[in-house]
């Protein structure tokens, strides 16, 4: 089985040869073991070049534990489940279905403001697993996809297909099938992405 191990103050050790690709479709040669940068400083992204040692990268999780909670937004036909504490702020929800996912409004989710099909379609795009849903009180099962690590442009590693993450403390209701891992080095919720790459203007460039 392919696994990802976040090493202490160092890179991700990836074993088992899971596919490594870009959103563009570009792929990298399969190897039994690779070391992926997560300090943000490698000149050979996405691979580690040892920069974490030079800059004193700190892999501690400093997230506010009070934000790790799963909230429920019940509509007539669908209930949307959301954990803001594990959101990577990819924007698929607020950009793609603004009438349901409403920035700077309370409550921020209005589950009945669009069709159930559109809500489900949008939730399925959530890379971090922060969003999920239930129909008639039954939570939807996770999708069944082949394992892959997607190196997003100037953003996190988007994990698909239930790759095992060694030693991680999962958030309330977090998906094991898909999640996002920080590679800019700035997340407070390491090893997971919290959207900090936006604030630090993280770039894929060396």
By the 10 Å C-beta count (0-12 exposed, 13-18 middle, 19+ buried), 84 is classed as middle
CA distances from 49 to 5, 74, 144, 196 (A): 17, 47, 34, 22
| CATH architecture for residues 67-139 | 2-Layer Sandwich (3.30)
In terms of pTM, does the model score above 0.75?
Answer: yes
pLDDT at 205: 80
pLDDT at 1: 81
Percentage of the chain with pLDDT > 70? 100
What's the mean pLDDT in 17-36?
A: 94
Distance CA 86, CA 48 (A): 25
Write down the mean pLDDT value for the chain.
Answer: 96
Q: Where are the domains of the chain?
A: 67-139
Per-residue pLDDT, 206: 64
Buried b (16+ CB within 10 A) or exposed e, 143-178: eeeebbbbbbeebbbbbbbbbebeebeebebbbebb
Residue 36 predicted with pLDDT over 70: yes
What's the rounded mean pLDDT across residues 175-195? Answer: 97
CA–CA separation, 192 and 172 (whole Å): 13
pLDDT tens string 45-90:
999 999 999 999 999 999 999 999 999 999 999 999 999 999 999 9
Confidence category of residue 44, pLDDT binned at 50, 70, 90 = very high
pLDDT at 141 over 70: yes
């Amino acid at each position: 089985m392919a696994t990802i191990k976040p090493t202490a103050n160092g890179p991700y050790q990836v074993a088992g040869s899971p596919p490594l690709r870009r959103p563009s479709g570009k792929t990298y040669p399969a190897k039994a073991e690779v070391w992926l940068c997560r300090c943000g400083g490698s000149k050979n992204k996405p691979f580690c070049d040892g920069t974490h040692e030079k800059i004193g990268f700190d892999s501690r999780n400093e997230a506010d534990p009070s934000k790790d909670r799963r909230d429920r937004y019940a509509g007539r036909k669908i209930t949307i489940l959301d954990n803001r504490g594990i959101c990577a702020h990819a924007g698929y929800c607020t950009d793609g279905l603004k009438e349901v996912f409403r920035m700077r409004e309370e409550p921020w989710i209005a589950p009945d403001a669009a069709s159930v099909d559109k809500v489900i379609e949008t939730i399925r795009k959530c890379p971090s697993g922060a969003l999920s849903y239930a129909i008639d009180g039954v939570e939807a099962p996770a999708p069944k996809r082949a394992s892959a690590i997607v190196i997003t442009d100037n953003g996190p590693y988007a994990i698909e297909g239930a790759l095992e993450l060694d030693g991680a403390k999962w958030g309330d209701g977090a998906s094991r099938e898909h999640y996002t891992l920080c590679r800019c080095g700035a997340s407070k919720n390491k090893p997971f992405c919290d959207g900090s790459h936006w604030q630090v203007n993280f770039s894929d460039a060396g």
